[in-house]
C-alpha cells in the first residue's frame, strides 16, 4: 500500500509515468489470490477485512487505468472495433454534436528512449496506425519514448523491438469537430499536385504557417527544407 500511496502522490504532481504502478497492483493481486487469507487468523479480523477491501478498490481502479496506459490504439479501433464490440449490443449510443479538433504537430517529436518533453498522445512516424499516450517526467530514468514491435525471432519466438520517432497529436480547438472534420483532416497534397478543396492549408516545410489555396491551384514546393518532400495538409478549422 505504501507503493500505491507514493505513486498516487506523484500522479497528483503531474507525473503520469507512475500510472504504470497498475501493473504492480495486478501482479500483487495475482500473488495474493494464490494463498488463503486464513493464515492470518491471529490478526484482527476487522483490520484484515479492511485491508482486503482497500486492495480490491485499488485493483478495480488499476484495471481501468491499465486498459489505457501504458498501451496503444489502432487508428481504426474506434470506427471499426468499438461498434462491433459485444458491450455495445442493444445500446443506442448517442454521439455528441461536436468534437475537439486535433492535428499532428511536427515541431514536437520524440525518438525511442529519448526523454518525453510534453505529455500527450503521439503518433508513430514509421507506423501511422499506432497511437500511444506518453507521459513526461522530471525523473531521469522515467518518461522516455517507446519502442515498437518489429517482428518475431523464428527460433525463440521472442518479440523483436526497434526504435522509431513519435510526433505529438495536439488539441487545437475544444469543439467544432464532426464526422466531416475527420474526413477533412485526412486531406493532404504533395508539391506539384492540384489543390482538392478551397481553404487554408499548412505544411511542416513552411514552418506550419497556413496558406490559402483555391481548388485547382498547384501546391508549391519548398526547396532545401529539413522535412524533405513538401506535403500540404488542409487546416481542419476551415469554415468553408
Q: Could you tell me what percentage of the chain is helix, strand and coil, using 3-state DSSP and rounding each to the nearest 5?
A: 30, 30, 40
Model pTM above 0.95: no
Grid cell digits, residue 237: 478549422
Chunk the chain into consecutive blocks of 10 residues (it has 240) and report each block's average pLDDT, rounded to whole numbers: 80 86 74 67 74 79 72 62 60 73 84 94 82 91 91 91 91 70 66 89 75 92 75 67
Q: What is the pLDDT of residue 173?
A: 76
How far, in whole angstroms, is CA 119 from its chain's centroid? 10
Contact 231, 128 (CB under 8 A): no
What are the structural domain ranges in the chain? 2-66, 71-170, 187-240
Cα dist from 12 to 7, 15, 66, 219, whole Å: 9, 7, 18, 47
Q: What is the largest CA-CA distance in the chain?
A: 83
Q: What is the pLDDT of residue 72?
A: 65
Amino acid at each position: 500500500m505504501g507503493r500505491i500511496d507514493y505513486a498516487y502522490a506523484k500522479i497528483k504532481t503531474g507525473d503520469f509515468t507512475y500510472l504504470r504502478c497498475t501493473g504492480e497492483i495486478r501482479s500483487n493481486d495475482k500473488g495474493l489470490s494464490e494463498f488463503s487469507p486464513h493464515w492470518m487468523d491471529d490478526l484482527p479480523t476487522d483490520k484484515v477485512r479492511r485491508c482486503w477491501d482497500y486492495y480490491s478498490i485499488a485493483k478495480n481502479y488499476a484495471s481501468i487505468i491499465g486498459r489505457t496506459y501504458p498501451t496503444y490504439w489502432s487508428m481504426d479501433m474506434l470506427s471499426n472495433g468499438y461498434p462491433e464490440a459485444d458491450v455495445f449490443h442493444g445500446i443506442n449510443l448517442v454521439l455528441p454534436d461536436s468534437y475537439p479538433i486535433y492535428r499532428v504537430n511536427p515541431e514536437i517529436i520524440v525518438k525511442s528512449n529519448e526523454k518525453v518533453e510534453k505529455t500527450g498522445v503521439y503518433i508513430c512516424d514509421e507506423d501511422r496506425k499506432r497511437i500511444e499516450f506518453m507521459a513526461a517526467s522530471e525523473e531521469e530514468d522515467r518518461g522516455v519514448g517507446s519502442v515498437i514491435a518489429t517482428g518475431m525471432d523464428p527460433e525463440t519466438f521472442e518479440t523483436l523491438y526497434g526504435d522509431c520517432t513519435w510526433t505529438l497529436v495536439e488539441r487545437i480547438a475544444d469543439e467544432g469537430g464532426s464526422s466531416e472534420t475527420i474526413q477533412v483532416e485526412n486531406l493532404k497534397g504533395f508539391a506539384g499536385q492540384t489543390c482538392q478543396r478551397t481553404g487554408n492549408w499548412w505544411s511542416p516545410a513552411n514552418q506550419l504557417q497556413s496558406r490559402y489555396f483555391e481548388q485547382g491551384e498547384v501546391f508549391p514546393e519548398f526547396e532545401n527544407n529539413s522535412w524533405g518532400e513538401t506535403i500540404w495538409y488542409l487546416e481542419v478549422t476551415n469554415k468553408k
